[in-house]
Amino acid sequence: MRVVNSSTYRQFTSSVNDVHGKLNKAMNKVSSGKAYESAAENPLAYYEGKQIDHLYLDAKSKNALIGDIKNRLYEQEKGAYDIQQLLTSAKTAVQFLSDTTHNSDKNTVQTKRDELLQKAQSMVNDLNSQYGSYYVFGGNDVSTPPFSLSEDGTELSFTHKFPDGKTETMTMKLEYDNANNSYSYKIDPNDMDNILKAMREQGRVDIGYGDINNKDTLLDTFTGGLNVLTGLTSDALKSMSDADAKKAIHEAMDKSPLGLVGSAVMACDQYIAGGDVAEFGKTMSGLLTTMGEAEHTISRVYTDLGNKSNLLDSTSKRLDALEDSLEARYKDILGADPYEAIMEMYSYQYSYSASLKVGANLMQSSLFDFLS
């Protein structure tokens, strides 16, 4: 009778450990769904899988960014629509005041004047709309409340923090031109320089639309409040000379919803203070015509924002399809077949259990022989 020697035990232990390692690997394959644990097992497949993984995460990141941009665009669309509705309502009040059968009573004019001022303040509130803590009409400055309006509705202030860290407050003061019987914003030249700089700001983002190598083809996600009021896009202003751009801004601000409603408020104040009723009616009629043009301008801005939102929807759907496609490709290349993985795991479980039984019998026989 002989005792099993240490060499036999070492060989047996090595075999058991080998089966146990294969069992663990098979169990990991089932739980993770991956065919390979390291690049060494299949370098080509692993490298291709890494490329797919990078593309998948990029698409996922862009889709998440689109969701954030869409939420901000929604608030911008809502703000532009509200301003349009307020302008339409103000237009109705101005039409009422242009009629000599209504404007002869200055108490009635005062009431309408107060309504118009309230609408102007509401427009400013819309221009200070927020998505979370972000001011959606602040351009690239989302942390500063951009607009404020004086109590009499004649002075509009625009505060903006520029990329260089400087914060500037620009003021636009409505004044009456007696010679032309018209109203116009007075803007300091330095303030106009800053206004132009702010209105030319862009926030082009790579969301899977356009050519990353051509920045101008990427979607501009910024829409500043002054761009909304004037209908002047950053692209349009960048295509003009500084002098032409400033002139366009000044003229557009005079004809903007806030400029026109503010002018109507000023005209009411002048009439109540002792103005001529016929001249007042003529002024209201002139403002009424220009308000119709401003309605068209703000409607175009609202439509442009809607088009951006539709573009984001279509891009998001395309990215969703790309994610599904990449996920399927990844599984084909690096994914383990579930049925084969489970069968392999059961096979090694059986082998491992059998090895343990053999080991138990071997140990029992060796001890018995030793005692005998």
The CATH number that applies at residue 237 is 1.20.1330.10
The answer to whether the beta carbons of residues 231 and 301 sit under 8 Å apart is: yes
Question: Which helix (H) or strand (E) segment is 57 a member of?
Answer: helix 43-98
User: 199 or 328, which is more confident?
Assistant: 199
Specify whether 366 is located in the same domain as 238: no
pLDDT recorded at residue 18: 66
| pLDDT tens digits, one per residue of 203-244 | 888 887 777 777 777 888 888 999 999 999 999 999 999 999
Specify whether 18 is located in the same domain as 112: no
Q: What is the pTM of this model?
A: 0.77
- How distant, in Å, are the alpha carbons of 83, 182, 216, 236, 243 from that of 239? 27, 30, 12, 5, 12
138 occurs within a structural domain: yes
User: 22 or 276, which is more confident?
Assistant: 276
Specify whether 31 is located in the same domain as 112: no
Q: What percent of the chain has pLDDT over 70?
A: 80
User: 54 or 210, which is more confident?
Assistant: 54
Q: Which domain holds residue 351?
A: 6-40+325-371
Instruction: Give whichever of 10-19, 41-50, 128-137, 363-372 has the largest mean pLDDT.
Output: 128-137
pLDDT recorded at residue 211: 75
Question: Mean pLDDT, the chain, as a whole number?
Answer: 85
Specify whether 223 is located in the same domain as 307: yes
Q: Which of 75-79, 107-111, 202-206 is least confident? A: 202-206
Specify whether 358 is located in the same domain as 245: no
Instruction: Give whichever of 140-144, 240-244, 320-324, 337-341 has the largest mean pLDDT.
Output: 240-244
User: 266 or 350, which is more confident?
Assistant: 266
| pLDDT tens digits, one per residue of 119-176 | 999 999 999 999 888 999 998 888 999 999 999 999 999 999 999 999 999 999 999 9
Strand order of the β-sheet with 167-177 is 147-149, 155-161, 167-177, 182-187
pLDDT > 50? residue 367: no
Q: Rounded mean pLDDT of 357-368?
A: 59
pLDDT recorded at residue 6: 62
Specify whether 90 is located in the same domain as 179: yes
pLDDT > 50? residue 370: no
Percent of the chain as helix, strand, coil, to the nearest 5: 70, 10, 20
pLDDT > 70? residue 337: no
H helix count then E strand count, the chain: 11, 8
Domains in the chain: how many in total?
A: 2
- How distant, in Å, are the alpha carbons of 24, 146, 268, 328, 329 from that of 322? 34, 39, 59, 10, 10
Specify whether 165 is located in the same domain as 300: yes
221 occurs within a structural domain: yes
Which residues are bridge partners to 83 per DSSP? none
Measured distance CA(144)–CA(161) in Å, rounded = 7
Specify whether 77 is located in the same domain as 22: no
pLDDT recorded at residue 75: 92
pLDDT > 50? residue 71: yes
The answer to whether the beta carbons of residues 207 and 65 sit under 8 Å apart is: yes
Token pair, residue 198, equals: 């702010």
Specify whether 282 is located in the same domain as 350: no
pLDDT band at 36 (very low <50, low <70, confident <90, very high): low
Specify whether 113 is located in the same domain as 170: yes
